[in-house]
Structure 1
Amino acid sequence: MSNGFLLIDKPEGISSFDVIRKLRKITGIRKMGHTGTLDPFATGLLIVCLGKYTRLAQFIEAHSKVYQVSASFGSKTDTGDPTGQVTETTELPVALPNISDLINSTLSLQSLAIPAYSAVKINGKRAYQYAREGKEPDIPDREVTIHEFSVDSLSQTGIDYICRVSKGTYIRSLSQWIAAYCGTLGVTTSLRRIAIGGASIDLASSIEQLDQDNWTTAVKPAKEVLQGFSNHQISLDELTDIYHGRSIAVPGDDEYPVMIYNDDSLIAVAERRDGRLYTRINLSHE
């Protein structure tokens, strides 16, 4: 089974690519990739695409993501997380904001700073490379959407919260913004991704659970991972058309992507335009 998805619960202390290296040894599959980096200090859901399904990574990456977060107040590190060096300290907040006001203000956010220690490219160079050289390039804020935000606990020493955010939102920056709203500095001390789109951490396996004999039992089909996207179940005649790259008539609003299934097998990703589906990614040949 060389095509599908593996949902991994990444442990703390290893990089996302370390997970890929381990899975290649376990599965013997070279063609694989993950759909959204988790920093080494972070844990949680990492969706790994296998074989031809690596072509679907862009759609999973576009999904919103849900995180459980803890942040401490009173200090700041150069990385925004516990792996960095403390660069500044300040007093803990004397008075805390009303939680409802904090929630509403957070949900109203439209942009956040990009951390200096990030992989974003500035003039062809990674931001973290500038940071390691002690340089501070002008990094524009990134547009974000905070879809959901709830506070588990808030005290003078820190906050625990859960958020569902748009692609590309840096939680380290969100924690720093929250700390500033509370009148202090902040560091993200714990970060756990618990969902990507409709895929939950509850479906994930740990690396330690997988070996050369059992890993195939953990492979998830497209329908289980690509929830939330429009889809079309094709007939035998339509299957022939799709195979040869011809469009098929399927009434509906213009949209992209539309997942095309033959029973439970994903065979193409299409764009619906003027009541017809036009194949954009054809998996039926692979």
Structure 2
Amino acid sequence: MSKPRKPKGRPISGWLILDKPVDFGSTEAVGKIKWLFNAQKAGHAGTLDPLASGMLPIALGDATKTVPYVMDGRKIYEFTVTWGEERSTDDLEGEVTQSSDKRPAKSDIEALLPNYTGTISQIPPQFSAIKIAGERAYDLARDGETVEIPSREVEVHRLTLLNCEGDKAHFEVECGKGTYVRSLARDFGRDLGCYGHISSLRRTFVAPFAEEMMVPLAELVALEAIEDRDERLAALDAFLGDTAEALSALPQLRITDDQAHRLRMGNPIILRGRDAPVAEPEAVALAGGKLIAIGEIAGGEFHPRRVFA
């Protein structure tokens, strides 16, 4: 009987908040970070198109178990819409499908924005990762197929016109999971009768990570010049945030080392004390500041669902 394969790389865990450059895909970025950190496992929390820059939270090791909690968080984007052309991809990469000489006045744009705030119905772009009959929409679109993508409801919490310059308008949007900024640009242009597409897009915030936490890829790549491997990895590791940072919105329990051992064995623990919570659908257990488990509180007990090394 053959022995199980030992995973390649270091069993390192934590969050790297990457400032992704333009013309670099999200999957490519994750692969580069995984290689730089010599990590066993890596994943990202929310795709950014190659033409978009900005915040791409990358989870290493056990932090990949917390990715869904970041995926569900609010996001903030700054984006530019160029008026006069609608494109097949709803951004600069696509072919022009509609054009107009009309340009909207600032007052017309501002009057439109309330229609796109709150819960709105949105049709994702033809070139998107939405699955249609088991296939990605962008694969079908590249094959020349026009697919019917059903509309869906998304949350736009805040939408601001920053300024107008000639045939361009600059916006900031705070939105929920699944919102396509490219679709906003397309729909703005149609409603204003002038057509439009995204010409620049930058993500500045993914809850709960702040903009100042972002690390430029070039800064990390520059550390390859450090010849000593241990010194190089230590310099890289200094940029990692704790795995538990992704779970700051959940109720937090401080537990003992003995309780942590029970949770790691998959057993529930009894919560004692006058202020102990009785019921929570999801909560986080920490011992000595370290993440031990995510679980449910029911009947005065914490039941682990996901346990961390």
Give the whole-Å Cα distance in 1 for the aligned partners of 2:69 and 2:186: 29
Structure 2 CA distance for partners of 1:193 and 1:219, relative to 1, 3 Å: same
The structure 2 residue matched to 1:20, chosen from 30, 35, 41, is 30
Give the whole-Å Cα distance in 2 for the aligned partners of 1:282 and 1:10: 30
Per-residue deviation, residues 93-134 of structure 1 (Å, max 9, x unmatched): 354545653332211342211110011110011111211122
Partner AA of 2:242 in structure 1: P
8 Å CA contact retained: 1:74, 1:90? yes
Q: Does 1:29 align with 2:50?
A: no
2:268 counterpart residue number:
247
The structure number with the bigger radius of gyration is 2
- After superposition, where does 1:127-206 map in structure 2 within 5 Å? 127-154=137-164, 157-206=167-216
Give the whole-Å Cα distance in 1 for the aligned partners of 2:241 and 2:213: 9
Give the whole-Å Cα distance in 2 for the aligned partners of 1:171 and 1:88: 19
1:113 counterpart residue number:
123
2:238 counterpart residue number:
217
2:4 counterpart residue number:
none
Structure 2 CA distance for partners of 1:124 and 1:34, relative to 1, 3 Å: same
2:61 counterpart residue number:
51
Measure how far apart 1:209 and its partner are: 1.1
TM-score by length of 2: 0.85
Give the whole-Å Cα distance in 1 for the aligned partners of 2:40 and 2:261: 30
Q: Does 1:234 align with 2:216?
A: no
Give the whole-Å Cα distance in 2 for the aligned partners of 1:161 and 1:252: 44
1:268 counterpart residue number:
293
Structure 2 CA distance for partners of 1:178 and 1:268, relative to 1, 3 Å: same
Give % identity: 28
Give the whole-Å Cα distance in 2 for the aligned partners of 1:9 and 1:240: 37
8 Å CA contact retained: 1:66, 1:162? yes
Alignment root-mean-square deviation, CA:
2.0
Per-residue deviation, residues 70-105 of structure 1 (Å, max 9, x unmatched): 111110111111111112111323545456533322
Measure how far apart 1:157 and its partner are: 1.8
Unpaired runs of at least 5, structure 2: 1-10, 225-231
Unpaired runs of at least 5, structure 1: none
8 Å CA contact retained: 2:104, 2:194? no
8 Å CA contact retained: 2:110, 2:161? no
8 Å CA contact retained: 2:294, 2:304? yes
Give the whole-Å Cα distance in 2 for the aligned partners of 1:185 and 1:227: 41
2:228 counterpart residue number:
none
8 Å CA contact retained: 1:151, 1:160? yes
Count matched residues: 283
- Secondary structure in structure 1 of the residue aligned to 2:101: coil
Q: Which moved more, 1:174-183 or 1:137-146?
A: 174-183
8 Å CA contact retained: 1:111, 1:144? yes
Give the whole-Å Cα distance in 2 for the aligned partners of 1:227 and 1:192: 24
Partner AA of 1:271 in structure 2: E
8 Å CA contact retained: 1:42, 1:191? yes
Measure how far apart 1:198 and its partner are: 2.0
The structure 2 residue matched to 1:68, chosen from 73, 78, 94, is 78
8 Å CA contact retained: 1:199, 1:227? no
Give the whole-Å Cα distance in 2 for the aligned partners of 1:25 and 1:222: 19
